[in-house]
Chains A and B, each alone.
Chain A
Amino acid sequence: MDSRLLHELKKLLGSEGVLHEPEDLLLYEYDGSVEVAKPACVVFPRNTEDVVEIVKLANRYETPLVGRGAGTGLSGGALARQGGIVVVFSRMNRVLEVDVENQRATVQPGVVNLDLSIAVAHTGLHFAPDPSSQKACTIGGNVSENSGGPHTLAYGVTTNHVLGMTVVLPTGELVRLGSAAVDSPGYDLTGLFVGSEGTLALVTEITVKLTRLPEAVKTLLAVFDTVDDATETVAEITRRGITPAACEMFDSWTIRAVEDYVHAGYPVGAAAVVLIDVDGLREAVESEAEEVADICRLHHAPEVRVARDAAERDLLWKGRKNAFGAVGRISPTYYAMDGVIPRTKLAVTLRRLAEIGAKYGFEIGNIFHAGDGNLHPLIPFNGRDRDEFRRAIAAGTEIIRCCIEMGGAITGEHGVGMEKDHLMPYLFSASDLELMRGVRDAFNPSGLLNPGKIFPTAKACGEIYARPAAEMSAPPA
């Protein structure tokens, strides 16, 4: 990279605020996805003013910029696909304001998701979006990807909880969007910027809603002898108009993986389990839990376990939240997919996934947010075997096309990033994409901010299939 740019960045942030040695950059070549891209340098702003100056420098040196939180993303959103500067927000990790009375908080983007909930726990409030990576992922990252989580079934995803933010546009301009008060007049810019995958602005402050913790929670674990019984149960719960706080499903492969690792008491040998939370007023939870248990039994669940206390509940949930880690023990490299289907199509889709797995020679694991039809097929593969990698990617593409055929979407919470940009044309027409590109270009005219994301590029079609091993670790252009 340009040594003058490096010098200026160091002058701005101090040498502790800039990384550029190859060994220091290694970590930032990765996120939680199977993608790899090497930045030219990594910077750590301390405040909004630093971010503004970094953006101005990037403009002056015509260098790409990519925002990054904890790097837990699963679609390569925080990777420097075209090299350049990665802006890591880990030093901007303060909760700026908690307004208990109005159930609001204003945070810097580097605040870890769970840390906000912990910070306000004594007030009986929490930040409702709870990605499985919530112990590590940051709220800035959640905003960029519009992250979900198990409990977003009842409580809504990130966008439903963000009221406003301060952003630095790729031009260096500082703008406040939305407000702590509801119904900010004008176009819903906050709604547009949440989930824009870091392509429209760098976010430096976020105002969120805090949600009251429920008075009562019941956690049920229903065990099934067939996958179809489990999916039918989920469909029936939906059909009856019950919205559990969470409704998660594991197949036999993931049950084994999780149980070996977490020892949460999951029944190894079962074809599937469904983990369900119902919450609310004590009076509502009692009857709703009973109804859910009845539906499970109606669909031949041989066992419906109700967690007796908080400790048992936490253990069951520990199994869910650590599932990806558990899979990692079995297969150090795996492809964590993300697709959405209508909830009525769960059974047929899971059968299709098993067929696709067989076709490409994989046993695909499934652990997912069944209640909102958000699938997470896991394809374990040997990362050193290029052919296997290619097959895993091909199987993944077929899975996503299957979701589209079912009337679904290509990502429910992980984002498009550089993982699925080439799949966008399967879902959106040329004019849809042209308008979306227009939106990006309106705010990010020089294309310096997070280039190569969301939109299919000419070379991206097929790139992912044929990417040579050398290119995976090649220095940026």
Chain B
Amino acid sequence: MSIASMTAPSRLASISGPSHVVSESPELGAYEICGKRPAAVVRPGSSEEVAEIVKFAATEKLAVVPSGARTKLSMGLAPRQYDVALDMTRLDRVVAYDPADLTLGVEPGIPLQRLAAVLAEHKQWLPLAVPYMERTTVGGTIASGVDTPLRRMYGTARDYVLGMEFVTGQGVTAKSGGRVVKNVTGYDMHKLMIGALGTLGVMTKINFRTFPLPVDTRGFVASFASAERALELRHVIAHSPLRPQAVEILSSGAARILRGDVAARIAPGPSASEVFSKVHWTLAADFSGNEKVLDRCERDLRQMGEKCGGESFVVLSPDQMLPAASRKREFIPIALASSPAATIVKMGVLPTRMNEVLASAARAAETNSLPWAAIARGVGVIYFTLLPKDRSDETRLRVIQATDQILFECAGLGGNATIPWSPAEWKSSLKVWGLERGDLDLMRKLKTLFDPSGTVSPGRFVGGL
């Protein structure tokens, strides 16, 4: 530990007040990232304090990692250096909310659930059905770039984040975008922050457009003898006039863990998860609209489903949809808790390639005797999870082989793949950020510009940025 990091707590206390700085061991443990423990935790109370802390860290060559509810700190690579945990949870205000304009500005530390309650009062929402929903903060959701099944209808955060204020790695406060729903003034720097794992700066304010809550919803679930048939229904829906909120395909392995005890612990409450087939592939589609629209969707979907060889067609009311949706939404934490060495490969592929990609990934897993589970979004995203039974070195080698094969074959099929989650001690031997990319140099230029001395979350991102 450097001298600077030893004296950091007193300096941080002078910025945010002694009651908002922690340097005692037990509490520091809660901020560990991939086994690395910071020397101090500071909880800034304003964006000015954030700027001052980062500036101080940059001067002293300390590294800072911002966090919210700390649910996704294990994503990406371990930070190269980690001296100060920047706990953003005190920055939790709704700064501006204009329901009539459907625009919103919040500080990043606000829990998503609490924000959802504020929006629900005005029958609005942010269509972010993301994992760790009960605890996660808005900032953590945006910085981690986790996606949501609702992207089928609403797009991802990049489509509805209107602007941002952030502190760069040099401690400079800057902003881009704005508060209005349409805006092309200046570079969209805020888009760079989405999914950047805090490697370009620390977000201090995020502006969104909000959406009206759907008047009514209905879920449809059908099971299929093969992924190919389930995906066939996905394609038929995509080429129909129907506009589902979400379309997901689950493997039988995914259904098994979503129906298990671990799932019941992580996403408790009444379970409708028995609708997910333990032996077959499941397609789940959610629709919103008025009753006539939902009746039409139900009618059309039943026909389409039957043509594609669907079985056990189930219609879910909003009350039944909710628990089923929350189980699916929490697939990642459930999968991580379902195996001592769960390793999750996230793939982006063309929708028509999903079948081949799934088949090749399944082959890679099975050749290496690794149990697997997959959940795929209709837009072409696959979360392929390897669920080894232990963490032994021999298992690690098999996981490396399997993931390497998955990554190369996915690339061969025009997709891209990363391994956001795996045991921390395996990360250095896995291709966490996927295969080499032609645009890495451009990304490096941005990292150098925003964070020249490697102060914020150094090393967690693509190419060790």
Contacts and interface: CB of A to CB of B under 8 A. Distances in A.
A152 interface: yes
Interface centre among A182, A187, A283, A439 (most CB of B within 10 A): A187
B192 A187 contact: yes
B380 interface: yes
B159 A156 contact: yes
B350 A373 contact: no
A181 B189 contact: no
Given A185-B416, A369-B182, A427-B178, A192 B188 contact: yes
A104 interface: yes
Contact of A281 (B103, B147, B174, B293): B293
Given A148-B184, A281-B289, 6 more contacts: A181-B349, A283-B292, A342-B98, A372-B180, A428-B185, A443-B445
A160 B155 contact: yes
Contact of B100 (A196, A238, A287): A238
Given A195-B184, A410-B185, A439-B449, A284 B289 contact: yes
A157 interface: yes
Interface residues of B, number: 82
Contacts of B159: 156, 160
Contacts of B433: 185-186
8 nearest A-B residue pairs (beta carbon)? A241-B212, A191-B191, A215-B241, A183-B348, A283-B292, A409-B183, A412-B182, A181-B348
B179 interface: yes
Interface stretch (A23-31, A85-93, A171-179, A321-329): A171-179
A342 B179 contact: yes
Contact of B182 (A239, A241, A340, A410): A340
Contacts of A182: 348, 379-381
A343 interface: yes
Interface in A250-307: 280-284, 286-287
A196 B440 CA distance: 19
Contacts of A435: 168, 172, 174, 189, 449-450
B187 A342 contact: no
B103 A342 contact: yes
Contact of B186 (A152, A215, A428): A428
Contacts of B187: 192, 195-196, 436, 439-440
Nearest to B440: A186
Interface residues of A, number: 85
A280 B287 CA distance: 13
A439 B416 CA distance: 26
B215 to A, nearest CB: 9
Interface string B236-256: 001101110000000000000
A342 B185 contact: no
Contacts of B98: 342, 344
Contacts of A431: 172-174
Contact of A284 (B195, B211, B293): B293
Nearest to B242: A281
A241 B123 CA distance: 9
A332 interface: no
Contacts of B464: none
Contacts of A411: 183-185
B442 A159 contact: no
Nearest to B180: A340
Interface of B: 98-103, 123-124, 147, 155, 158-159, 168, 172-176, 178-189, 191-192, 194-196, 200, 211-213, 235, 238-239, 241-243, 289-290, 292-293, 295-297, 346, 348-353, 379-381, 414-416, 418, 433-434, 437-443, 445-446, 448-450, 461-462
Given A212-B241, A435-B189, A145 B212 contact: no
B185 A416 contact: yes
Interface string A394-416: 00000000000001111111111
A152 B189 contact: no
Contacts of A442: 445-446, 448-449
Given A175-B439, A185-B434, A188-B192, A454 B180 contact: no
Contact of B180 (A189, A341, A440): A341
A184 interface: yes
A438 B186 CA distance: 12
A208 to B, nearest CB: 14
A374 interface: yes
Contacts of B200: 187
B241 to A, nearest CB: 4
B414 to A, nearest CB: 6
Interface string A371-389: 0111000000000000000
Contacts of A157: 182, 184
Nearest to B123: A241
A187 B100 contact: no
B179 A454 contact: no
Interface stretch (A14-22, A95-103, A108-116, A464-472): A95-103
B182 A413 contact: yes
A101 B182 contact: no
Given A181-B416, A431-B173, A281 B241 contact: yes
A186 B437 contact: yes
Nearest to B124: A241
Interface centre among A157, A181, A235, A415 (most CB of B within 10 A): A181
A439 B195 contact: no
A355 interface: no
Contacts of A215: 241
Nearest to B238: A103
Given A186-B440, A283-B293, A101 B103 contact: no
B178 A439 contact: no
Contacts of A212: 238-239, 241
